[in-house]
A and B are shown apart, each in its own frame.
Chain A
């Protein structure tokens, strides 16, 4: 077998292509010179300057708030959708349902953003809500497209699960909702957490949807960054961008690490449980009524 074939070379070149620009951006955010092209030594003054920028800080807090709500609601909605898709094989409108769950993954954001805005305007005319667009409308928009991502992640997990455990609980008389809460939820917890964290990150990053459905006075962090970026490369933006990059990377890494650890823990528990049952049944088989094992 070839060790360093064409595909390996492409892989490492591709990773270099993906990561080099981000590394360069972070390095340049520590540049002391005002001119973005001249290296003037290391400095953290652009980071310190950010703290005084109250407009930016307000946008950060607003984005974090929306992302927090989105993570919770998208995890809930996405899990329900995934459950329906994997556990309920037939009902009226199932094809439409499947389409509605997967289409937001690819739908161009300008279309989704425009259509949601027009919906909110029509709703305001018809039922008087929402009078003002802001955090709540951005939250609805983000929940809708993030729940599609959660549904994909969670349904992959639901498909892998051993159905016999759920069936056993139901045979023993547990109500479906009880089975779901006590058995299914704990088993899909790692992917549920991963989906929630993914929604948090996606909501924090979104520019296009938020631009369409936000109102005056509800500027989010990406909108703030975008209006500055349009005017060109500036050292302050390098600092903001690096901070976002580093926090999201750290966040992703932690999400991955914890879900992996939970998974390993779960597998080990299953293995141990099986070994215990195997040895017990073996001992009962040999001569249980005579004498219990010492």
Chain B
């Protein structure tokens, strides 16, 4: 009796199965955020690593110096505020455009024949596996002043002088929508394909129009897919670096780009950390929303 109770207390295979991924993710995903938080309270220093220590032990005194200067700087310098607002605006409107383009596409795939459906899904999925860098680079050649788009428009006689599209916010919008559209379509499809079509038939039999059916039945039923798709686009776009760097111009202020410059160009690790902490604070609500939604999906409770 005692032995069996002891056996239950001891770590068994089940604990091992939980522990391996748990420890790995905790060590390399959660713990690093604590370090970012710590570094954000230090001061930049000419040293290796380039920041001051928070705790110092000298003359039997433990002194803890929390430097709030990085956070104060974020509020004082209008550049940072503009970058946060620019990122949020970019993420909001790109998510909206992705939803408006992606929903009809996902709907069409979900209602297509089974054979065609697998091919269409592959076509949507393929770009998500290809480097975002290369797909953005493809647009650089198309949008530049002497690029293909301006060449075609001039050739058709629609415009006289080349349009400045590359290095503007419009180019960033095009790049973001282009890169993140598949991430909107896939969760929407996964949701729409499960719908029970007899509901629509029943509504039609009772005299409801197609448009009414769509807004009153299909859209409310696909709520989870819409949330998942929007979060999959919105959250990463807020921190996006590659697209604004390559397609945007000097006036394109986005927080991912600013963080990158602070870290790599100015070598100011504490300010970069403070920027990351504030970004995370802004994104924590959408991330939790996404996690709840995913947890339901992962466990199969729809």
A135 CB within 8 Å of chain B: no
Give the chain A neighbours of B85 by CB distance below 8 A. Answer: none
Evaluate contact between A118 and B39: CB separation under 8 angstroms: yes
Give the chain A neighbours of B146 by CB distance below 8 A. Answer: 37
Scoring B22, B25, B135 by chain A CB atoms within 10 A of each residue's CB, the highest score goes to B25
Evaluate contact between A248 and B130: CB separation under 8 angstroms: yes
Q: A15-B123, A104-B29 are in contact. Are A119 and B133 (CB under 8 A)?
A: no
A191 CB within 8 Å of chain B: no
Evaluate contact between B104 and A11: CB separation under 8 angstroms: yes
Evaluate contact between B104 and A121: CB separation under 8 angstroms: no
Q: A88-B18, A144-B29 are in contact. Are A18 and B127 (CB under 8 A)?
A: yes
Q: Which residue of B lies closest to A120 (CB)?
A: B32
Assembly CA distance A121 to B22 (angstroms) = 22
B57 CB within 8 Å of chain A: no
Evaluate contact between A205 and B142: CB separation under 8 angstroms: no
Evaluate contact between B242 and A208: CB separation under 8 angstroms: yes
Evaluate contact between A205 and B298: CB separation under 8 angstroms: no
Evaluate contact between A25 and B138: CB separation under 8 angstroms: yes
- Which of these, B13, B126, B141, B142, contacts A249 with CB under 8 Å? B126
Evaluate contact between A101 and B131: CB separation under 8 angstroms: no
Give the chain B neighbours of A30 by CB distance below 8 A. Answer: none
Find residues 18-40 in chain B having any chain A CB closer than 8 Å to their own CB.
18, 20-22, 24-26, 28-33, 35-36, 39
Complex interface bits, A1-40 against B, C-beta within 8 A gives 1, otherwise 0: 0000111101100110111011011001000000011000
| Binding stretch for chain A, among B61-69, B74-82, B219-227, B276-284 | B276-284
- Which of these, A121, A211, A248, contacts B131 with CB under 8 Å? A248
B125 CB within 8 Å of chain A: yes
Give the chain B neighbours of A103 by CB distance below 8 A. Answer: 29, 287, 290-291
Assembly CA distance A95 to B296 (angstroms) = 11
Complex interface bits, A51-74 against B, C-beta within 8 A gives 1, otherwise 0: 000000000000000000000000
Assembly CA distance A285 to B178 (angstroms) = 62
Evaluate contact between B130 and A249: CB separation under 8 angstroms: yes
Q: A11-B108, A207-B133, A244-B130 are in contact. Are A21 and B241 (CB under 8 A)?
A: no
Q: A7-B105, A21-B139, A226-B133 are in contact. List 15 more A-B contacts (CB 8 A).
A: A5-B108, A11-B108, A17-B178, A25-B141, A37-B147, A84-B21, A88-B17, A97-B22, A101-B21, A108-B283, A205-B132, A229-B246, A232-B140, A248-B126, A253-B122
Give the chain B neighbours of A251 by CB distance below 8 A. Answer: 129
**Minimum Cβ distance to chain B for residue A208 (Å):** 6
Summarize B's interface: helix, strand, loop or mixed.
helix
Interface residue tally of chain B, by bracket?
35 or more
Evaluate contact between A83 and B25: CB separation under 8 angstroms: no
Give the chain B neighbours of A190 by CB distance below 8 A. Answer: none
B173 CB within 8 Å of chain A: no
- Which of these, B125, B131, B240, B273, contacts A252 with CB under 8 Å? B125
**Minimum Cβ distance to chain A for residue B190 (Å):** 9
Evaluate contact between A252 and B129: CB separation under 8 angstroms: yes
A169 CB within 8 Å of chain B: no
Interface residue tally of chain A, by bracket?
35 or more
Assembly CA distance A244 to B148 (angstroms) = 22
Evaluate contact between B29 and A10: CB separation under 8 angstroms: no
Q: Which residue of A lies closest to B190 (CB)?
A: A156
**Minimum Cβ distance to chain B for residue A150 (Å):** 10
Chain A interface residues toward B at CB < 8 A: 5-8, 10-11, 14-15, 17-19, 21-22, 24-25, 28, 36-37, 77-78, 80-81, 83-86, 88, 91, 93, 95-112, 114-116, 118-119, 121-122, 125, 140-141, 143-144, 147, 152, 155, 159, 176-177, 198, 201-202, 204-205, 207-208, 211-212, 222, 225-226, 229-230, 232-233, 237-238, 241, 244-245, 248-249, 251-253, 256, 260
Scoring B39, B133, B272 by chain A CB atoms within 10 A of each residue's CB, the highest score goes to B133
Assembly CA distance A205 to B239 (angstroms) = 18
Give the chain B neighbours of A112 by CB distance below 8 A. Answer: 29, 32
Assembly CA distance A95 to B288 (angstroms) = 11
29 pairs across A/B with beta carbons < 8 Å? A5-B108, A15-B120, A19-B123, A24-B138, A25-B134, A37-B147, A84-B22, A86-B299, A88-B14, A97-B18, A97-B25, A98-B294, A100-B25, A101-B25, A104-B29, A105-B294, A107-B239, A107-B287, A114-B259, A118-B32, A118-B273, A121-B49, A155-B298, A207-B131, A207-B133, A225-B137, A244-B131, A248-B130, A253-B126
